[in-house]
Each structure stands twice: as C-alpha cells, then as structure tokens.
Copies of this chain bind each other. A is one copy, B any other.
Amino acid sequence: MITKELHTSNRILMGPGPSDAHPKVLQAMATPLIGHLDPEFVEIMDEVKEMVQQTFITKNNLTFVVSAPGSAGMETCLVNLIEPGDEVIIGVNGVFGGRMSEIAERCGAKVHRIEKQWGTVVTTADVKAALEKCPKPKLLALVHAETSTGALQPLQEISDLIHNAGGLLMVDAVTSYCGVELQVDEWNIDAIYTGTQKCLSAPPGLSPVSFSERAIKVLDERKTKVQSWFLDLTLVKNYWAGSKRAYHHTAPVSSIFALRESLRLVLEEGLENRWKRHQEVHQVLKTKLENLGFKYLVEEQYRLPNLNSVYLPEGNDEALIRRKLLDEYNIEVGGGLGDFAGKIWRIGIMGESCTLNHVNMLISALEDMKEFKS
C-alpha cells in the first residue's frame, strides 16, 4: 500500500509543454470547490468565455472550453463538423496533422492529405493542388504551430483559398495560443482548438475551442447525430451558451478556476506584449544555442519562437544529456518524435517558462556539463 504523501522535484519546464505555471494559477487550483451549477460558477464560466474570446481575438458566440486536453479539442472540432462521406483536406507535416487525419477517418471522412516533409509548412501552392483533386471539401485543417517540429504555419492566404472553395478552415492552435500572433476573426478561422499547458501556462487538462457562424451553420445542418455524446456541441453549447445552462456533464471546477486566473494574467500582460516577449527571449536563446553549435530544424521564416527544434552539436548522446539535465539540474527539455526521435531536442520557452533566466539556466547547465560537447 502507498502511504507516502506526494513528493515531486521542483522542475524547470522547458519542453513542449506543460510549461511552468504562475504561482497564482497554482493557488487558484487549490481554491475550495464550489458546485458546477452554483451561480458563482456560472459567472466564472461567463468570465472564462469572455477571456477566451479576447485571447482568440474573436466575437464568436460559440466559444467554450472542452473538459479534457487538447486532443479532445481536436476531436471535438472534427466530430462535430464531419459527417460520414464528407471530403476533407488535411495538412500533414508532423504528428498533429497525422492525428487530425486519423480522427477524421474515424468520423467517416474521405481524407485528402497534403503530405509535407516534417519541419516545413503547407504552402498556398500545396492547397491549390489539393483543391484541384478535391474541389469542394467540407473543410481544410491545418496545424498553426506543429509541436512535433516547431514550424509555424501561415494561415491568411490559405484561408481565402479554402473559403473561395466553399469549405471551412479548421486550425490546431495548441502551441501558438498566447505565444505568437493568432487572429481568429481577422483570419476567418471557422473552428479552432487549443490547450492550456503551453503559452497560457495553466495545468494541462482543458481545451478552449471556438466556432464561427459558418461552422455553426454546418453543425445545425447535420443530417446525422454527432458520434460522440461527450463532445457533442449541440448538447455542450446549451451548457456554455444556453440561457438555461442545461446540465451536460460535471465541469472540472478547479481546472476552470486555474484557467480563469491564467487568462487574467495573459490579459494583464497584454496579448501583443506577450507575443513580443516570446519573440525577444527566443532571439536570445537562438543566439546562445547557435554559439554552442545547435542547428535549427525549421527554416528561419517559419520558425516558432516558443518551441525551438534543434539538432545537437555532433558527437552528443542526446538522451544521456537530456537525462542529466533533468536529474542534476531539474531542467526538462523535450526529445524528438517520429523520425526525429534521438536526433533533435524541442526546447520550449512558453508562458511562465519564457524568461531570460530560463534561457540562462539551460545554457549554463550545458556549458557546465562535462558530457556536453559544443
């Protein structure tokens, strides 16, 4: 039997997420519980909705929070918008584009994949070519910030292409949200989901989502039931946006408290200041990493500032050094996924983990470590 109380090390989180949480966010997590139908909680849900709208930069009324991590947000968007037999186009340039395709197929869609080398992005030419093969797709889904590679996907021109074809634009913004520019209304994004544990610096477990009026029209015109009950927006929306707040499932009260506090801190800093901070700290990190011999995976113009995918200098055992960083310095960086496993590191400077001190702790630890060869 386990009788010890919980003990964890005091980690410095510089991987692909979760990032360090602000002490006030952690404190919000520890707030004594209130009921999920308590008038005070309903007010908090309204405040969270308003702040999610502000951080997505959208007026979308159907803006809410899925009671599960980002992958469930992804499934929420796909399962509600797709009906069996629909044709969709999905950009696959990393793990998360692949995951979207997998889920879309489970929804019964015919998926046209735009397969791109990992670390690159989908171009307007790629989308045009896909639209020739599939001229009337239900939607085009792209990953704004591919967490497996650190690539930042431009969206504005592509948004026009898919809308001109009569389809919806669906976007994975898990790693970009609150870290780099993201304009839901301005860029005409129809369905977007994100996570809480990246640049928002809240604990993992929730997924903010927003649907445009065009997406709601598709939802309203469905001929079949949504295959998931838990993620069915025709039901969830009555809880988040209905006048009667119909009970659907028990909301994760504590996580919503923490989300509220993390959103408040983002808006207190200001979204643009926050984007600027991520860019500035990235520049310092980049210079110092390159001085040590690291090389970036992604071409400079498509590089995410907050998730730095880098090849180690030659002659280093990445797993050994990553483990020593964790064990001896309490610093977590991420390893590579897929073909990049064992080859790259993914260094996150996200939200509360995006400070000059974080950069210096990591760089100095590497400089100190006798096993690391720069």
- Could you tell me if B8 and A229 are in contact, using CB atoms closer than 8 angstroms? no
- Could you tell me if B253 and A18 are in contact, using CB atoms closer than 8 angstroms? yes
- Could you tell me if A18 and B35 are in contact, using CB atoms closer than 8 angstroms? yes
Is A255 interfacial (CB-CB < 8 Å)? Answer: yes
- Could you tell me if A227 and B230 are in contact, using CB atoms closer than 8 angstroms? no
Instruction: Please classify the interface of chain A as helix (H, G, I), strand (E, B), loop, or mixed, using the class held by over half of its residues.
Output: loop
Is A228 interfacial (CB-CB < 8 Å)? Answer: yes
Is A17 interfacial (CB-CB < 8 Å)? Answer: yes
CB 8 Å contact bits of A5-43 with B (1 = contact, 0 = none): 110111101010111110010111111111110111000
Q: A197 — which chain B residues lie within 8 A by C-beta?
A: 33, 250
Knowing A203-B253, A252-B69, A255-B252 are in contact, say whether A102-B229 is a contact too (CB < 8 A): yes
CB 8 Å contact bits of A172-214 with B (1 = contact, 0 = none): 0000000000000000000000010100000111000000000
Q: A30 — which chain B residues lie within 8 A by C-beta?
A: 26-27, 29-30
Knowing A250-B69, A250-B197 are in contact, say whether A8-B34 is a contact too (CB < 8 A): yes
Q: A337 — which chain B residues lie within 8 A by C-beta?
A: 247
Closest to A333 in B: B35
Q: A250 — which chain B residues lie within 8 A by C-beta?
A: 17-18, 69-71, 195, 197, 204
A148 smallest CB distance to B (angstroms): 10
Q: A114 — which chain B residues lie within 8 A by C-beta?
A: none
Is A106 interfacial (CB-CB < 8 Å)? Answer: yes
A208 smallest CB distance to B (angstroms): 14
Closest to A323 in B: B39
- Residue from A18, A229, A337 having most chain B Cβ neighbours under 10 A: A229
Closest to A28 in B: B6
Is A345 interfacial (CB-CB < 8 Å)? Answer: no
- Could you tell me if A13 and B33 are in contact, using CB atoms closer than 8 angstroms? yes
- Could you tell me if B28 and A11 are in contact, using CB atoms closer than 8 angstroms? no
